Amino acid sequence: MIVIFRPDVEPDGAEVERLLKHLAQIPGLKPEVHSVRGAIRSLTEVYLIGRTDTVSREALEQLPGVERVVRISEKYRLIGRHRETEAVGFVYNGVAFEDKSLHIFAGLCAVDAREHVDATMAALARARLKTTRMGVYKPRTSPYDFQGRGRDCLPYVFELAGRYGIRVIAMEVLHESHLDEIRDALERAGRPTGVMLQIGTRNAQNFELLKYVGQQREFPVLYKRGMGITLEESLNACEYIASEGNRNIVFCLRGVKSHLGDPHRNLVDFAHVPVVKRLTRLLVCIDPSHSVGRHERAPDGLSEIQHATAQGVVAGANMVLVDFHPAPEVALCDGPQALTLLELEAFLEDVRIVRAAYVERCAAAAAAATAPAKESS
Ligand code: PEP
Ligand code: MN
């Protein structure tokens, strides 16, 4: 059961205190107060965990400040899109992530050299992008492969982000200690930018790591779907993060492991964008680079990565995570799937075209839904 307060009610307000007092008289109930801060709307909600069958919905709706009470039966209690609840997204470091937004996180799969970070961020700044991806800790299949520059590169990554006006960097973490290293380096650099913690597909069910990133609320989380588990299992993993307190989560589709996707690296799963939006209140990201895994051009002049991106964007994706590199032939990780910086402008223009088509599709669907039913002859 969820008690939703009016937008003007603060989580530490008298109305919430009044409700908690009321609930304390009911045995077997554990209330959890959640505050969702969006760009357009902020909401205070109280989740009732435990036996709610004897709780009167009407009685709760009479309490001061309560807007409505929703009974939920689904298993995604916190992340679920329950009837009558709203997706409100979140604002992080001045960037609004919401239902209607689309952000492009273009950047290096792995930071390999300072000059590559510099050249990439300079290109992003020219394109007016304020979000990027920079892999620092890399989970590699072979122990002999490049494992990422680790904390040694954080000072220059953050310094350059500040110089080029980057507001949010998506960065994978593999271990709790990586959060401390990121926090420490950000502090030392004077907080010039923000970080979105990426949980990679290989850690999709690392429940202790999921709980750890859920327990902190400083950084939002970009959760990448598990490559060999069901969508339901991946969504449950996000529920772990949310149940620890952090609800600023973006769900990333990155393809699933199957040879049926050959010659792509993974089977592209962007048809799931609307499914995740229907089942949950999470914003949805697509990663065309790790899905397609190769930089080939189709006869129409568009690359396969652009085509996959278009599939996700035309379906309403809120974020695109995509690999670029100034010199893919010398990249230490995933060079074959990186687009070059010279291709950035055309990539962004293609996204703009497809996004406009999505907006138009939504408007047409809304018009069709409100149009008076035509008489059949
Ligand atoms: C990545 O984005 O750098 C990455 C390793 O992706 P995934 O976890 O989806 O393989
Ligand atoms: Mn990669």
Token representation of residue 104? 């492009």
Alpha-carbon torsion angle 366, 369, 370, 374, nearest 10: 140
Is the minimum distance from the CB of 290 to ligand 1 under 6 angstroms? yes
* Predicted confidence (pLDDT) at residue 319 exceeds the cutoff of 70: yes
What is Dmax (Cα atoms) for the chain?
73
Q: How far away, in angstroms, is 150 Cα from ligand 1 center?
A: 16
Q: Report the C-alpha gap between 219 and 176 in whole angstroms.
A: 13
pLDDT tens across 219-276, in order?
999 999 999 999 999 999 999 999 999 999 999 999 999 999 999 999 999 999 999 9
pLDDT for the residue numbered 87: 57
pLDDT for the residue numbered 163: 98
Atom of ligand 1 nearest to the CA of 252: 9
Q: Report the C-alpha gap between 53 and 67 in whole angstroms.
A: 20
- Report which residue type is found at 130: K
Q: How far away, in angstroms, is 244 Cα from ligand 2 center?
A: 28
pLDDT for the residue numbered 110: 98
- So where are the chain's domains? 2-70, 90-364
* Predicted confidence (pLDDT) at residue 317 exceeds the cutoff of 60: yes
Q: Report the C-alpha gap between 213 and 138 in whole angstroms.
A: 17
Q: Residues 284, 290, 292, CA angle at the centre, nearest 5°?
A: 105
pLDDT for the residue numbered 226: 98
Atom of ligand 1 nearest to the CA of 321: 2
Q: How far away, in angstroms, is 290 Cα from ligand 2 center?
A: 6
Q: How far away, in angstroms, is 11 Cα from ligand 1 center?
A: 36
pLDDT for the residue numbered 77: 84
Q: Do residues 78 and 239 lie in contact, with contact meaning Cβ atoms separated by under 8 Å?
A: yes
Q: Report the C-alpha gap between 287 and 254 in whole angstroms.
A: 5
* Phi, psi (degrees; rounded to nearest 5) at 318: -100, -10
Q: Do residues 102 and 355 lie in contact, with contact meaning Cβ atoms separated by under 8 Å?
A: yes
Q: Report the C-alpha gap between 175 and 173 in whole angstroms.
A: 6
Atom of ligand 1 nearest to the CA of 110: 3
- What is the percent of the chain with per-residue pLDDT over 70, rounded to a whole number? 95
pLDDT tens across 167-182, in order?
999 999 999 999 999 9
* Predicted confidence (pLDDT) at residue 38 exceeds the cutoff of 80: no
* Predicted confidence (pLDDT) at residue 371 exceeds the cutoff of 90: no
Q: Do residues 251 and 283 lie in contact, with contact meaning Cβ atoms separated by under 8 Å?
A: yes
Is the minimum distance from the CB of 354 to ligand 1 under 6 angstroms? no
Q: Which ligand is nearest to the CA of 255?
A: 1
Is the minimum distance from the CB of 225 to ligand 1 under 6 angstroms? no
Q: How far away, in angstroms, is 86 Cα from ligand 1 center?
A: 30
Q: Report the C-alpha gap between 370 and 364 in whole angstroms.
A: 10
Consecutive H or E run containing 339:
strand 339-340
Rounded to 10°, the helix 176-189/207-215 angle is: 30
* Phi, psi (degrees; rounded to nearest 5) at 348: -65, -35
Q: How far away, in angstroms, is 274 Cα from ligand 2 center?
A: 25
Is the minimum distance from the CB of 256 to ligand 1 under 6 angstroms? no
Say which residues have a Cβ less than 8 Å from residue 113's Cβ, sequence separation at least 6.
none
What are the helix and strand counts (H, E) for the chain?
11, 15
> Of all protein residues, whose CA lies closest to atom 8 belonging to ligand 1?
200
Class of domain 90-364: alpha beta
Token representation of residue 191? 């907080």
Residue from 227, 223, 247, 246 nearest 235 by CA: 223
Strand pairing category for 42-50 and 2-5: antiparallel
Query: Under CATH, which architecture does the 2-70 domain have?
Result: 2-Layer Sandwich (3.30)
* Predicted confidence (pLDDT) at residue 194 exceeds the cutoff of 90: yes
Question: How many residues in the chain?
Answer: 377
Atom of ligand 1 nearest to the CA of 334: 3
pLDDT tens across 69-98, in order?
988 766 788 898 876 666 579 999 999 999
Is the minimum distance from the CB of 277 to ligand 1 under 6 angstroms? no
Is the minimum distance from the CB of 200 to ligand 1 under 6 angstroms? yes
Read off the pLDDT band of 201 (50, 70, 90): very high
pLDDT for the residue numbered 74: 67
* Predicted confidence (pLDDT) at residue 164 exceeds the cutoff of 60: yes
pLDDT for the residue numbered 28: 84
SS3 letters across 30-62: EEEEEEEECCCCEEEEEEEEECCCCCCHHHHHC
Most ligand 1 atoms within 8 A of CB, residue of 108, 132, 287 to mutate: 287
Q: Report the C-alpha gap between 310 and 304 in whole angstroms.
A: 10
Q: How far away, in angstroms, is 110 Cα from ligand 2 center?
A: 7
Burial 259-274 (b: 16+ CB within 10 A, else e): eebeebbbebbbebbe
Consecutive H or E run containing 125:
helix 114-126
- Report which residue type is found at 94: G
Q: How far away, in angstroms, is 342 Cα from ligand 2 center?
A: 20
